[in-house]
Amino acid sequence: MSSHPRRVAVVGPTASGKSSVALAAALEVGDAELVSIDSMQVYRGMDVGTATPTADERSQVPHHLIDIVEPTDDFTVAEFQRAYSVVVDHLARRDRRAILVGGTGLYHRAVIDDLDLPGEWPVIRERLQAEIDQVGPAALHRRLADLDPEAASRMEPTNERRIVRALEVCEGSGRSFSSFGPGLDTYPESDIVQIGLRWDREAQAARIEQRVHRMMADGLLDEVRGLRRTGLSRTAAQALGYKELLAHLDGTVGLDEAVEQVIVRTRQFAVRQLRWFRRDPRVRWVDIEHDPVVEVTPVVVDALRS
Q: Which residues pair with 193 in a beta bridge?
A: 8
Helix 18-29 and helix 292-305, axial crossing angle in degrees, nearest 10: 50
139 has a pLDDT exceeding 80: yes
CATH number for the domain whose boundaries are 202-272 = 1.10.287.890
Class at the top of the CATH hierarchy for domain 122-179: mainly alpha
Mean pLDDT calculated for residue range 114-126: 88
What whole-number distance in Å separates Cα of residue 272 and Cα of residue 154? 12
Gap between the Cα atoms of 299 and 306, Å rounded: 11
Query: If you write DSSP's letter for every residue of 121-184 in order, what string do you get?
Result: -HHHHHHHHHHHHHH-HHHHHHHHHHH-HHHHHTS-TT-HHHHHHHHHHHHHHSS-GGGSSS-T
Among 59-63, 69-73, 116-120, 290-294, the minimum mean pLDDT is found in: 116-120
pLDDT in tens, 215-271: 999 999 999 999 999 999 988 998 999 999 999 999 999 999 999 999 999 999 999
Is pLDDT at 2 greater than 70 in this prediction?
no
Does domain 7-117+191-200+281-305 match CATH 3.30.70.270?
no
Asked if 242 contacts 49 with a C-beta cutoff of 8 angstroms, the reply is yes
The mean pLDDT of the chain is: 94
Q: What is the pLDDT of residues 49-106, one digit of tens each?
A: 999 999 999 999 999 999 999 999 989 888 999 999 999 999 999 999 999 999 999 9
Q: What are the b/e assignments for 136-171, b being 16+ CB within 10 Å?
A: ebeebbebbeeebeebbebbebeebbbbbbbbbbbe
Instruction: Tell how strand 32-36 and strand 193-198 pair up.
Output: unpaired
Judge whether residue 161 has pLDDT over 50.
yes
Q: Where are the domains of the chain?
A: 7-117+191-200+281-305, 122-179, 202-272
- In the sheet that holds 63-64, the strands lie side by side as 63-64, 32-36, 97-101, 7-11, 193-198, 283-287
Q: Are 105 and 276 spatial neighbours (Cβ–Cβ below 8 Å)?
A: yes
Distances (CA, A) of 115 to 76, 107, 132, 178, 256: 13, 10, 27, 12, 41
CA dihedral 12, 165, 154, 69 (to 10 degrees): 0
> Cβ(53)–Cβ(62) under 8 Å?
no
Given the DSSP bridges, would you call strands 63-64 and 283-287 parallel, antiparallel or unpaired?
Answer: unpaired
What is the pLDDT, as a whole number, of residue 229?
Answer: 94
Q: For the whole model, what pTM was predicted? A: 0.84
